Structure 1
Amino acid sequence: MDNIVKQLRVSQGFNLTQEELAKALGVSRHTIMSIENGGNTTGEMVLKIANFFGKDPREIFFTSNVAQSLQGQLA
């Protein structure tokens, strides 16, 4: 699943390592690495990440690439 988790994690406002974000969310670093690399995740984790960064989940996980892909499937 395309997302901007890594960009948010390393942004000036946060500047976190994968380990630091994982600890804050109560998951393993491997989980964060998987999500950043486009792996699937649970709805609960999507909400945890969105809440942590103070964003709507669609701003993080539904990037323009996903929207374009969905539009192509619906056409």
Structure 2
Amino acid sequence: MTQNKNKDSCQSDDIGSEYVVIGDNGGKDYWLLNAHDYSDANVYEWPHCPDGNVVKMGYDFQELLSHLRRE
């Protein structure tokens, strides 16, 4: 994944080609699903800054939905 950085922001040029954005956690971090492997139900997070690397969150999409329904 390439990064397009300037002094005020960090953003990926191609995050949308690798992942589907399904929401955000209230800030500039985004929740993602793998756009290429449909059997991968893991939820990923893209921290907007400082390094911009996508990380696995430790639960899958169904667990995320269950958690959100309880709130």
**When you count strand as a share of all residues, which structure comes out higher?**
2
Q: With the length of structure 1 as denominator, give the TM-score of the two structures.
A: 0.22
**When you count helix as a share of all residues, which structure comes out higher?**
1
Q: With the length of structure 2 as denominator, give the TM-score of the two structures.
A: 0.23
